[in-house]
Each structure stands twice: as C-alpha cells, then as structure tokens.
Amino acid sequence: MKAAIRLEGLGMRFGTTAAVAGVDLDIAGDDFLVLLGPSGCGKTTLLRMIAGLLRPTEGRILLGDRDITHLPPRDRDLAMVFQSYALYPHLTVERNLGFGLGVRRTPKAEVRRRVREAAALLDLEPLLARRPKELSGGQRQRVALGRAIVREPRAFLMDEPLSNLDAKLRASTRTELIRLHRRLATTFVYVTHDQIDAMTMATRVAVMNGGRIEQVGTPVQIYDEPATTFVAGFMGAPPMNLLDAHLRADDGRLAVHATDVHVPLWAGTDAARDVVLGVRPEHLRVARPATADRSCAASSRSWRTSAARRSPRSPSATRGRPCAARDRWACASATP
Ligand SMILES: Nc1ncnc2c1ncn2[C@@H]1O[C@H](COP(=O)(O)OP(=O)(O)OP(=O)(O)O)[C@@H](O)[C@H]1O
Ligand SMILES: [Mg+2]
C-alpha cells in the first residue's frame, strides 16, 4: 500500500539552531525521492520528523489525507532503514527479519510467510540461520532492508543506507534498490550526500542547503537546469565553473560577457544586468592556439541557456564571493 507524503512549512529548531526551516514538499505515492545535500544541511532531521522520531517545532506532515504530525512512530506505518543497520546481534537473520512483526503480535504463520518472501526478494535465504557478525556489510545491509520490507509499510525512509559499503557493492546495491522500488511500487525517501546515489536512483531529487530545500526536480532537471548557484555548484564532479558575468543586448542579440569569455545567446533586448555564467567542465574542449577564439561563437555547438533565481541562502555557492549584486544568473551549457 503506497501513500503520498506532504510536508507543510516543516521546521525543527534545536535551541538557536534551525536544523530544518519552512520545508514544503510533496512526495508522490510512487516516488523514489532522494534528499540530497551537504553534511549538516538537515537531511536526517527531516527524515526523523517524517518517521516520528523527532517532533517538529513548526509545520505539518500528512500521509495521504491524514495529519500524522503528532502520531507516535509505531502508528505511522512507515519503515526506517538506518545507516548503522541496527540489527540485533544475538538473533539470527530470520529472527531479525521477523522481530518487528512479533512485537506487533502478528500471527506466527503470517510472520513466517513475510520473512520468507523478503528473504527470497533479497537473496537472503541461504543466510537465514546466521547471526549478524557472520555476515558481510552488504549482507547486513540487505537484512536491514528486509526488516523494513516485511512490515509492508506505506513508505520506506532510508538514511544513507549504503554508506558502509565499498564502491562495487554500493553500485550493485543501487541497482537492487531501483529494482526493489519498481517491484514494491511504493514511496521511497532516501537521504544521502552522494550525488551519484541521487542521479542513478531518484525519480525526483530535493536538494537541501542550510535546512531549506533549494530545488526539487528530476535528476536531469537538477543537473541541466539548476535553480540556484548552490545547486549548480553542488551537482557535478568536477563542479560547474561559476563566472561573474554581464548580460547585455548587442544589435538585438543577447550575449553574456565574462573575462575572456563571450557567449552569444538568442535574439532579444532583455535588460542588461550582472549574472553568473555556469559552464560544466565536460562542455569545454581544448582548442589549438592558432584556431582558438575567445568567443564561444566560434564553436559549432549551440549554447543552451537558462536564467534562474540567485540562491538567496548560499553565499558560499559562489565560492566565498558575495553575490548580493546579482539579481539573476545564466547557466550556459553546450549541447552537441
Ligand atoms: N539533537 C540535536 N541537538 C542539537 N543540534 C542538532 C541535533 N541534531 C542535529 N542537530 C544540528 O542540526 C543540523 C542538521 O543536522 P542533521 O543531522 O539533520 O544533518 P545531515 O544533513 O543529516 O548531516 P550528515 O550528512 O552529516 O548526516 C546540524 O547543524 C546539527 O548539528
Ligand atoms: Mg545525516
């Protein structure tokens, strides 16, 4: 059973620290929503509020039509997978998987059925009799996921569940999670600071910064049309180059001018203003000095440009340079 989650003006204060502030977010019933952002931006706090482990200091949480803001975690029908896995060391895999159901007094035959189903889904059948210390990190991670699956929750909440895995296992587990999401067709909310997690698994990404959401969109939208300089600088490795520039119209055509870089745009007479020019490193090419032309007009590629709002909360997005003078920025990326 899947359910949409709606956050309305959600906030969490710890003393004078606003860990999460005024978050509005609609998560669809079949979304794989990735909450992405740097360390300390409030991802875990937001997830723990959805799970009911933290009581928000402002705002509301709706699950379907129901206001669950003040419901205890056990009544929310949501399953959380923690980074640490939190398995019971003295119980076998089978009993770890069924433990939560036993606590809820689910009939034994039903517990057995659900545990077998989850074990089959996650290839855990050969491991059912082992204890956590006899498992690899990846196997433990699958048990933690299985424990969430057996509950047949209305949504899965995951906090960096892959962070203890090596790169190879991380890649294969991403594929497993995508498959699992398709198969269960239910809501996944997944917290990470890893943009590869976001780009490969998400149906939608919410980029967080300083307790707020900067942008929500598909991975491609976030990458190609970043709404703020923070998102532009955060997504991509190596990150987008951000140059102070000026937009003006010359003979009825718009162009962006930065030091040694001139980017012709489309016909227009938009008002001249300071902007930030964003150029992804993969869209630059090396030219021979004889043919190099400082003007991008020499390129046979077309420039696709989008204007977006300046990030009001992220002076660091322009690498320490103040951006107060800018009212908008232009993100240019070359497409073949
Ligand atoms: N119990 C608490 N008491 C006081 N401050 C807290 C508490 N929990 C979190 N914070 C603060 O709230 C902010 C957000 O923390 P949170 O754990 O949500 O960040 P995060 O995005 O999950 O970071 P990470 O990627 O490092 O896990 C941080 O500044 C943190 O220090
Ligand atoms: Mg965290």
Instruction: Quote the Cα angle for 137-139-145, to 5°.
Output: 105
Q: Which ligand neighbours the alpha carbon of 40 most closely?
A: 1
Tell how far the Cα of 143 is from the centroid of ligand 1, in angstroms.
26
Please, what sign has the CA dihedral across residues 176, 164, 188, 36? negative
For residue 127, report the phi and psi dihedrals to the nearest 5 degrees.
Answer: -105, 5
Give the integer Cα–Cα distance in Å for 253 and 46: 45
Distance 51 CA to ligand 1 centre (A): 16
Rounded Cα–Cα distance for residues 187 and 14 (Å): 28
Most distant pair of Cα atoms in the chain: their distance: 79
191 Cα nearest atom in ligand 1: 22
We find that the CATH architecture of domain 5-224 is 3-Layer(aba) Sandwich (3.40)
| Per-residue pLDDT tens digits for 225-276 | 999 999 999 998 888 999 999 999 988 899 999 988 888 888 888 778 999 9
| In contact, 85 and 140? CB cutoff 8 Å | yes
- Whole-model pTM: value is 0.82
Identify the pLDDT of residue 292: 53
Residue 19 Cβ contacting ligand 1 at under 6 Å: yes
- Which amino acid would we find at residue 333? S
- CATH for 229-335 (1.20.140, 1.10.260, 2.40.128, 2.40.50): 2.40.50
Out of 10, 12, 14, 84, mutate this one to test ligand 1's pocket (max ligand atoms within 8 Å of CB): namely 14
Please identify, by atom number, the ligand 1 atom nearest to the C-alpha of residue 47.
Answer: 18
* Phi–psi pair at 21, nearest 5 degrees: -140, 120
Whether ligand 1 lies within 6 angstroms of the CB of 39 is answered as: yes
The pLDDT value recorded for residue 83 is 75
Instruction: Give residue limits of the domains in the chain.
Output: 5-224, 229-335
Identical fold between 5-224 and 229-335: no
What gap in Å lies between CA 148 and CA 101, rounded to an integer? Answer: 10
Sequence length of the chain is 336
Residue 17, ligand 1, Cβ within 6 A:
yes
Which residue, chain included where needed, has tokens 């990150």?
A: 239
177 C-alpha to center of ligand 2: Å?
A: 20
Distances (CA, A) of 21 to 46, 75, 176, 193, 194: 10, 25, 33, 19, 22
- Coil, helix or strand at residue 332: strand
Q: What is the pLDDT of residue 291?
A: 59
Whether the Cβ atoms of residue 238 and residue 225 lie closer than 8 Å to each other: no
Residues near 220 by beta carbon (within 8 Å), at least 6 away in sequence = none
DSSP H helical segments within 162-277, as ranges?
A: 167-184, 195-201, 219-224, 229-234
How many angstroms separate the CA atoms of 298 and 305, rounded?
A: 17
pLDDT value at residue 78:
93
Q: How far apart are CA 311 and CA 210, in angstroms?
A: 12
Residues of the chain whose pLDDT is less than 50? 295-336
Q: Atom 3 in ligand 1: which residue has the minimum CA distance?
A: 14
Determine the Cα–Cα distance for residues 99 and 88; give it in Å rounded to an integer: 9
List, as one string, the DSSP characters of 264-293: EEEE--PPPEEEEEEE-GGG-----TTT--
